[in-house]
Amino acid sequence: MLGFPFIFRGALDVRAKKINEAMEMAATRALAALAREEVPDSVMRAYGLERLRFGADYLIPKPFDPRVLLWVAPAVAWAAVGSGVAGRVIDVDEYRAQLDARLGRAREVMRGLSSRAQQESQRIVFPEGEDPRILKAARILADDGAAEPILLGDPDAIRREADDAGVTLEDITLANPRGSVHLETFAQELWERRRRKGITLREARARVLDPMYHALLMLRAGQADAVVAGVDMYYPDAMRPALEVIGAEPGRHHVSGIYMLVLPQQTFFFADCTVNIDPDAETLAEIGSATAEFVWRRLGIEPRVALLSFSNFGSVRHPFADKVQRAVALLHEREPALQADGEMQADTAVVERILTKTYPFSKLRGPANVLIFPNLDAANISYKLLDRIGGAEAIGPILVGMAQPVHVLQRGSEVNDIVNMAVIAAVDAQEHGRRSRA
C-alpha cells in the first residue's frame, strides 16, 4: 500500500523503461525518512489517535498519510533519472509541486502563496507560543522558509511542550513577555493610545505582560512583521486587543474578516464572515473595497465584487435591499474602476448566463468571485455550509483593513490552518512593507 502506487507514479511520470533497484531503494529511504517526521493532525484523526511518533508502535508511515505521495514519487522519479532509465528529465521541486496540486486545489493555492512568502521571509509572532499546535506549525514554517516564527511565553514551558510534541526549536525565536526589556516602553505606548479610552498607566503596565498585547506592541515597534493568534482564544478576545493597539488602516474605519472558499474549478472570497454583525451601507462599501484590495494586491486576482441581497437591482423595495443599493452607490462613486455591482441575488452573481443576459448593464464583466454579504448571519452560515457539505475548502478568516498585518484564527484551529494563516500573514506583511517603503 505504501510502495506500489507511488513507485509506479514516479516511474510513469518520467517514462521509466523499468523499475530498478535504485528506484526501489529510493522509495525505501523516502518512507524511512518520512516516518521520522512530525505526523499531521489529519493523519492521527483518520486513525482515531491523539499522538503518533516514530518508535516501536510507528515504524513506517500510515497509508492514509497524503505526504507519502510527495516523498516517494519524487524520490523514485529522480532515482530513475539518475540511473539512466528515465525517458524524460524533471525538475524535482516542480514535480513535487505538481503532485501537491493533485491533492486538492486549496493546496495548490497555498503552495503559490508559500512560494511568495519564501521570497522575502517575514517575522511572525505567535502569542500562544506554548500551544503544541503552534509549535508544530512554527516548525513547518521554519523548515519551509515561509516565515521566521517568534514564540511568546515562558521559554522553559515552551521547551517542555516542544519536547513532548517531538518538535525541535532550532531557528525558532523564543521570547518571554515578562522578561522583556521593552515593558516600560510598551506600557507608555499603550497608555498613550488608550488613556482617553479609560486605561490608566498602571493598567497599561499590567496589560503588556499579556502575550497578545505584547505581540501587538512588538508589531507596532517594528520587532515583528505580523501577528497570528487566536488558536486558544475566543475570536472577540483576540480582536479587541488588535483593534486597541493596531486599529484600522488610515482612511478606513472598519476591519472585516474574509474566507477564501476553494472549489475544484474556482475560488470565491466571502466577506464579512467574522467581525461586523449588521453593517450599514458605509461599512458594507468599506468591506467591499478592503476585500477587493486584498484579492488584487495580495493574491494578484482580478476582483469582481457582488454585493448580495434577496433583491436584483431594485426588484424588491425593502430597507434591507436599499441598504445594499446605497453601499453599491458609494463604491461606484469612490472606486469607479472597480468591478462592483448589486444589489443582486447569489445566483445572479455567480451564474454568468443570468448576469449577462438578464442584467447586461451590470459593471461586472463576468461572474463574481468576491461576494459581500448583507450581514454576519448570511456570511457565516454560507461559508460554513459550503465548507461542511458543499465540497469547498475554507481558508481563513483573513482580517482585512488593519493598519498592520494581524490575523486571528478561529479557536480550535488545526496545525494546517495555522500554517496557512501564517503564510497569508507573511504575504500580507510583504505588501505592507512595500507600501510603507513607497
- In the chain, the amino acid numbered 72 is V
Cell 498585518 -> residue: 405
Contacts of 358 (CB under 8 A, 6+ apart): 312, 348
Do 256-401 and 121-245 have the same topology in CATH? Answer: yes
- Which of the pair, 217 or 414, is modelled with greater confidence? 217
Rounded-to-integer distance, Cα 271 and Cα 254, Å:
13
Rounded to a whole number of angstroms, the distance between the first and last alpha carbons of the chain is 54
pLDDT, residue 95, reads: 84
- The CATH class given to the 256-401 domain equals alpha beta
Percentage, residues of the chain above pLDDT 90: 65
pLDDT of residue 56: 83
- pLDDT for res 404: 94
Specify the CATH number of the domain 121-245: 3.40.50.10950
Nearest in space to 271 (alpha carbons), one of 250, 251, 253, 289: 289
The answer to whether residue 105 scores a pLDDT higher than 70 is no
The residue-averaged pLDDT of 95-117 equals 76
DSSP states along 24-36: HHHHHHHHHHHHT
DSSP state of 38: P
Answer yes or no: are the C-beta atoms of 265 and 367 closer than 8 Å: no
Residue 239's pLDDT is: 93
Q: Write the pLDDT tens digit of every residue in 133-142.
A: 999 999 999 9
**The pLDDT of residue 96:** 80
Region 68-91: mean pLDDT is 89
What is the per-residue pLDDT across 363-373, written as a single tens digit (0 to 9) for each?
998 999 999 99
| Three-class DSSP category at 416 | helix
| Residue 39 banded pLDDT, cuts 50, 70, 90 | confident
Q: How far apart are CA 43 and CA 64, in angstroms?
A: 7
Find how far residue 389's CA is from the centre of its chain.
21
Q: Is 310 exposed, middle or buried (0-12, 13-18, 19+ CB in 10 A)?
A: middle
Q: What is the mean pLDDT of residues 9-23?
A: 91
Q: Which residues pair with 250 in a beta bridge?
A: none
What is the chain's length?
A: 438
User: Residue 238 and residue 213: Cα distance in Å, rounded?
Assistant: 9
Q: How many CB atoms lie within 10 A of CB 46?
A: 13
pLDDT of amino acid 104: 64
Q: If you average pLDDT over residues 244-271, what whole number do you get? A: 91
CA distance 284 to 276: 9
Query: What's the CA gap between 74 and 140, in Å, rounded?
Result: 20
Question: Quick one: pLDDT band at residue 103, thresholds 50, 70, 90?
Answer: low
Question: Domain ranges in the chain?
Answer: 4-103, 121-245, 256-401
